[in-house]
Structures are given as C-alpha cells and as structure tokens.
Structure 1
Amino acid sequence: MKHQFTLPHFPGSTFEIETSIWTGRPTLFKDGTAISRSNEKGKPFLIPNNSGEIVRAYPKPRYMDMVPALEIDGILYDIVDKLAWYQYALCLIPLVLIFIGGGIGGAIGGAASVFNLQAMRTEGSVTTNYLKVVGITALAFALYFLVAYLILS
C-alpha cells in the first residue's frame, strides 16, 4: 500500500512510500521516481534536492505500524497520522486466537491483524474502514474454527 506525503525540505515535490507486507522494507518515490538507498549504516534514502545536493532520509520504524517515519537532519517526520488506541485495539483483536488456538491460531490472528492495520489506513470512508476491520476479524475467527474442525475430524 502506498502512502502519499510531502516534506518541508522539498517544496513542490510529492513523495510516496510503499512498505512490503512480507519483508517490511520500504520503497520511496519522489514525483513518481524510485529513490535509491545507501549501503551505509541505517540504509538511508538518498534524495536529490533542487540544488543537486543529496539529502539522507533514514527510515525509522514506528511502534505497531507498518509505515515508518523518516528522519532528516535529526528531525523525525511522520508520514501518516498515528492511529488512536481504540483503533489499534480493534485491529489487534484477532491476536486473541493465539490463546485459543496456539500456533495455528497465532498465525491466522497475526496475519489478520496485519491486514486490519492496513485496512484501517486505507483512503475513504471511516465507516468503511471499520467495517473492513470487523469483516477481516470475523473471517479470521471463522477460518480458525474451520481449520480446527478439519484437524479434529
């Protein structure tokens, strides 16, 4: 999922960041062009500014979120707004399956929680986002009980 944002260091430019669900590695785009990363410590993105200088933007993980923040010159820039505590609580309900179903329940609950966090961040109606999260949670529980039934029978 791509998230669009702007940075004060680059007026007139639009950025997008895409984070892989599988690896968690972010990819940064400036005005539609992919930005390369350095191999130095912290693996910063090397963003050219209008004067030709290179600005290093370090991706910093955020607690319980797939979308990192960017640190430029010691200042941390949030790319997306933080979710409220009740939004996190709703998204993480499928993790209850860890206690009900052990490893299988944990795998299903963990995957559903990641999808819930992404669904909560999608563009559009807030009501639609909440309905998506409730639907994903219900499907996770249904899938767990189906798998448990198939294993036990």
Structure 2
Amino acid sequence: MKYKFMLNNLGDTEIDINVSFWSGAVKITSDELRVIRQPNLNEYKLEISHDRFQLLKTKRQLFGLDPIPKIILDSAEFDIAQSLHWYEYFLCCIPLILISGGAIGGIIGFMGTRLNLLLIRIKKYPTIIRIIIIFLICYLCLLVFKELSRDIATALRLLRSLFLKHL
C-alpha cells in the first residue's frame, strides 16, 4: 500500500510511504529529498540541505496490528490515513477471538484483523457495505480456522493409526 505525506514546511515536499501488508515493513522514499535509513528500523533522516536534517519516525498503531503507521516528524505526530474510533477498532478486531484456538487461530485472526483495518478506511464504499464485508471476513476467518483445524486433526489421526499399525 502506498501513501503520500506532504511536508508543508519545506514547500509542499512529497514523501512516499510504502507499507507491506504481510510484514508491516515501511519503506520511505522521496523524489525531492534524500532519505537515509537509520540503524533503528523505524527512523529515517531527511536531508534537506548538506548540513540540515529532519528526523522522521514511524510508530505502529494498535500493538502492531494496524498496518498503517503514524508519522512522527520532529516530535509532531501525523496520521497518514484516517484515524479510527474505538468501535471501528472493536469491529475490526473480532477475528482476534480465534487466538484462543492456538497458533493457527492466531495467524488467521491476525490476518483477518489486518484486512478489516485496511477495509474500514476505504471511503469508496458506503459504511454499511464496509461493515457487512467486515462481518463476512470474520465469518470467513472462522470457517477457514474450522476447516483447517479439522483437516489437521484428521491428518494426525491418520498418522497415529499408521504408526500404531507398525508397532
């Protein structure tokens, strides 16, 4: 996902922010400024001139579940996407209930939550359509978890019966 961030104090300089859906890795580029990645993974230096720099940091939201970070530029925080209300976060995090199912449920719930958080910010569709799609994603996560856990249990029973036959 690609987002644009404007630096108004530098004559409307544009910074491109690429965020990976799967890993959440952030890559920052700019056509007008030189961007220098710092040893700390979420810090960048923006070279404005030969002797002038600005420090830019990215900050994860919702314990890293939200794929869209906040930008901190010289101690001022900016949202690069719409900020969500508590009830929107609540709706999006429903798939996290699957964490109680172990690692497989946690992975499926994590991916469902990230997908919901991306979907809730798309203003192209009416709110009711987005909410219906979020509930469909939650239901799909539950079905995938149920089928996958049933298949794994069947495979383990098959392996156990094969192993006991040879003893």
Which category describes the TM-score, using the shorter chain as reference length?
0.7 to 0.9
* Structure with the bigger percentage of helix: 2
The corresponding residue for 1:102 is: 102
The corresponding residue for 2:86 is: 85
The corresponding residue for 2:118 is: 118
CA-CA distance at 1:116 after TM superposition: 1.4
CA contact (8 A) 2:58 2:72 kept: yes
| SS of match in other structure, 1:116 | helix
* Structure with the bigger percentage of strand: 2
The corresponding residue for 1:46 is: 45
Task: Report the Cα distance in structure 2 between the residues aligned to 1:32 and 1:134, rounded to whole angstroms.
Answer: 42
Percentage identity across aligned positions? 28
CA-CA distance at 1:94 after TM superposition: 0.7
TM-score normalised according to structure 1 size: 0.78
Q: Which amino acid aligns with 1:137?
A: C
CA contact (8 A) 2:47 2:53 kept: yes
CA contact (8 A) 1:16 1:30 kept: yes
Task: Report the Cα distance in structure 2 between the residues aligned to 1:59 and 1:108, rounded to whole angstroms.
Answer: 26
Q: Which amino acid aligns with 1:23?
A: S
1:56-102 C-alpha deviation (Å, 9 max, x unpaired): 21222233422222222222222222111111111111111223x23
Indicate the RMSD between aligned Cα atoms, in angstroms: 2.7
Across the two proteins, how many residue pairs are aligned to each other? 150
Task: Report the Cα distance in structure 1 between the residues aligned to 2:135 and 2:32, rounded to whole angstroms.
Answer: 34
Residue 136 (str. 1) matches residue 137 (str. 2): yes
Q: Which amino acid aligns with 2:7?
A: L
TM-score normalised according to structure 2 size: 0.73
- The runs of 5 or more residues in structure 1 that have no matched partner are none
The corresponding residue for 2:158 is: none
CA contact (8 A) 1:42 1:58 kept: no
CA contact (8 A) 2:4 2:17 kept: yes
